[in-house]
Structure 1
Amino acid sequence: MPATAASSRPAARQTSTAALRFGRLAAMGTVTVVILIAGVWASWGSAQYVMLTKGRERGTVEVERCAGDVCSGPYTPSSHGSVARDRVDIEHTVAVRKGQRYAVVVKPGTRDVVRSGPAGVLYSWVPMGGALLLAAVVVAGGLRRTRFAWVLAGSGVALLTAAFVTV
């Protein structure tokens, strides 16, 4: 009987090692997916208005004043059915400067606008770029998939760099 007990220990050790490896892969895979979904969710809040412009009010805003995290100015329509407004609000970021004119899309039912065009599209996807970088760390460290991690990191850096250059 001692020979049987001795031979079953390596099999039990292999089983527990396989279970731990599967648990690590499942947990880190779940964390990676959650990070990427959060990046899409955070980006889609403004990207939907910039990317799906059919039927939306488009025009330009000339920024006259900035206070806190909001800048405002008059809105001049450029799309059919859009109406001029004395004042619309745009988020005050590094991409918005007082005295400049920007192409924008009006969020339906509000006086809030978001930048449109290539700069607006790339800027709206900046949270996804950060999520790609964070997911790359999890993939490299937790999943030990370094090639895929480099692809994720490269995609995140490319997105953030393109947004920085266009804005």
Structure 2
Amino acid sequence: MPKAAVMSGQGAAVALRFGRLAVMGVVAALILIAGVWASWGTAQYVMLTKGRESGTVAVTRCDGELCGGPFTGDGPAVRRGDVVIEDSVAVEQGRTYAVVVKPGSDEAVRSGPAGVLYAWVPLGGALLLASVVVAGGLRRPRAGWVLAGAGAALLTAAFVAV
């Protein structure tokens, strides 16, 4: 076999390996960015509470995807009637929850440790999904296990807290 053919074969293998690593790295990064993006929509209200209206909501009704009830503010807040909160496994009719009201609306999100963990659940799922891409596509099993462990720990903590 000519020496030029061997060199071009090795060059192609290196190029394919680099291409696989680049594509899988971009896919893993996009999955993690999407997880942060999905989580931040709620987490920003729960984590950055300074200047936001906070208090409790006593859930009196649930219909479809929303639950609602009277809001009681923590401080000298604007008098507010009912607020709505997303109906999920974390909300039950007849219970009272600590919430933060989204500015300019009557929509509330859970606050406190349970609210923070629940807000980051999409990131936990993204960590689990990215762990498969990192371990298989990038051939980095240790890093994949670390991502999977972090995702599982986040989801478990959210489940226990809620």
Same-fold call, TM cutoff 0.5: yes
Where does 1:131-146 land on structure 2 (aligned, <5 Å)?
Answer: 131-146=126-141
Q: Which residue does 2:61 correspond to in 1?
A: 65
User: Which structure has the bigger radius of gyration?
Assistant: 1
Query: Residue 69 of structure 1: CA displacement?
Result: 0.8
Matched, 1:127 2:86: no
**Please, which of 6, 27, 33 is the counterpart of residue 29 of structure 2?**
33
Q: Which residue does 1:14 correspond to in 2?
A: 10
Query: Runs of 4+ in structure 1 displaced over 6 angstroms?
Result: none
CA distance in 2, matches of 1:140, 1:79: 49
Q: Which amino acid aligns with 2:15?
A: A
C-alpha RMSD over aligned residues: 0.8
Superposed CA offset, 1:59-108 (max 9, x none): 0000000000100000000034x223221000000000001000000000
Give me the TM-score of the superposition, normalised by structure 2.
Answer: 0.98
CA distance in 2, matches of 1:61, 1:87: 8
Where does 1:33-112 land on structure 2 (aligned, <5 Å)?
Answer: 33-80=29-76, 82-112=77-107
Unaligned runs of 5+ in 2: none
CA distance in 2, matches of 1:53, 1:86: 20
Give me the TM-score of the superposition, normalised by structure 1.
Answer: 0.95
Q: Which residue does 1:154 correspond to in 2?
A: 149
Any idea what SS the aligned residue of 1:85 has?
A: coil
Superposed CA offset, 1:116-165 (max 9, x none): 00000000000000000000011111100000000000000000000000
